[in-house]
């Protein structure tokens, strides 16, 4: 099983600042099958931001970008908007079980 | 428009069973690989399992905590995904989501309590 470790656990930033979220895998993620999700509130359906490590999903603003390969992946939000403060999860879907990271909470400083 | 609508959640006693359904529309369900994901109260997302399309073999995979107790199936004639949950434990209490290719349903709450 591939374990995904996200860091930091909590990130405190101000609107307009740049956010960098990390997702590290315990072994190489097959074909960069790595996705990032945003969840505004627990119990609310997550929203797909990035798939294939770097492709933006439909309708996602270009301030969101994904990068990385192998075992190290990054989600960058170039200029934080008020609606970006949420919890972010990475997920690998290259090999079963399709594991999630534990999440990074992005909060307003 | 892609829609995934879960149903069947509720309160069940430990050791009991429950079946969730997920009605899909707006995409080619029969060609889709479908997954179930859950979220316990105050916790993160946990992948439960996946079923491939029949053309890709229709096979299933499960997370270790549910293997042997949960079964995923599909009825392509009804565009519906199922999650049969047996021998339920209190730690199975969660909101259960069906998802595919980044699309998610709204979730169905399952509470396991005596």
Q: Using only C-alpha atoms, what is the Rg of chain B?
A: 13
> Pick from B45, B46, B50: which is nearest to A46 by CB?
B45
As given in the structure block, the two tokens for residue A108 are 């307003």
The predicted-structure confidence for A37-49, as pLDDT tens digits, reads as follows 999 998 899 999 9
pLDDT at A8 over 80: yes
Q: What is the pLDDT of residue A42?
A: 85
**Record: contact B39-A42, CB cut-off 8 A:** yes
Alpha-carbon radius of gyration of chain A:
13
Query: Which pLDDT band, with edges at 50, 70 and 90, does A30 fall under?
Result: confident
Mean pLDDT, chain B, rounded, equals: 97
Mean pLDDT in residue range A92-96: 93
Nearest Cα residue to B42 out of B97, B99, B105, B95: B95
Provide the pLDDT for residue A15: 97
Residue A97: the pLDDT is: 93
**Contact indicator for B50, B72 with CB cutoff of 8 Å:** yes
pLDDT at A32 exceeding the cut of 90: no
Residue predicted with more confidence, A30 or B74: B74
| Interchain pair A102, B44: CB under 8 A | yes
- The span from the first CA to the last CA of chain B, in angstroms, equals 40
Decide if A46 and B104 are in contact by the 8 Å CB cutoff.
Answer: yes
Region A17-43 average pLDDT: 94
**Residues of chain A contacting residue B61, judged by C-beta atoms under 8 Å apart:** 96-97
pLDDT at position B98 over 80: yes
Q: Which two three-digit tokens encode residue A91?
A: 């997920």
| B45 to A39: CB separation less than 8 angstroms, yes or no | yes
Which of A1, A51, A89 is nearest residue B102 as measured by Cβ atoms?
A51
- Residue B17's pLDDT band, with cuts at 50, 70 and 90, is very high
B52: nearest CA partner in chain A: A96
Whether the pLDDT of residue A31 is over 90: the answer is no
How many angstroms separate the CA of residue B24 from the nearest CA in chain A? 15
Q: Could you give the percent of chain B with pLDDT greater than 90? A: 99
Of A1, A47, A100, the CB nearest to B45: A100
pLDDT at site A58: 94
Q: What is the dihedral of CA B82, B88, B90, B96, to 10 degrees?
A: 0
Say how many C-beta atoms besides its own lie within 10 A of residue B92's C-beta: 22
pLDDT at B52: 97
């Amino acid at each position: 099983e591939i374990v995904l470790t996200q860091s930091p656990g909590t990130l405190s930033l101000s609107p307009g600042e740049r956010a960098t979220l990390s997702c590290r895998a315990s072994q190489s993620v097959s074909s960069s099958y790595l996705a990032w999700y945003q969840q505004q509130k627990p119990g609310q359906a997550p929203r797909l931001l990035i798939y294939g490590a770097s492709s933006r999903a439909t309708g996602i603003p270009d301030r969101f970008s994904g990068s990385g390969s192998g075992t190290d992946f990054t989600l960058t939000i170039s200029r934080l908007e008020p609606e970006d403060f949420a919890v972010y999860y990475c997920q690998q879907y290259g090999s079963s079980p399709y594991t999630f990271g534990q999440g990074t909470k992005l909060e307003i400083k | 428009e892609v829609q995934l609508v879960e149903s069947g959640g509720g309160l069940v006693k430990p050791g009991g069973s429950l079946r969730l359904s997920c009605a899909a529309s707006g995409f080619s369900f029969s060609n889709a690989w479908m997954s179930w994901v859950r979220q316990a109260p105050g916790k993160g997302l946990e992948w439960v399992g996946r079923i491939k399309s029949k053309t890709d073999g229709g096979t299933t995979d499960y997370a270790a905590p549910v293997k042997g107790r949960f079964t995923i199936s599909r009825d392509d004639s009804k565009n519906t995904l199922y999650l049969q949950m047996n021998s339920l434990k209190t730690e199975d209490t969660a909101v259960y989501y069906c998802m595919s290719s980044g699309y998610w349903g709204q979730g169905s709450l399952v509470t396991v309590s005596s």
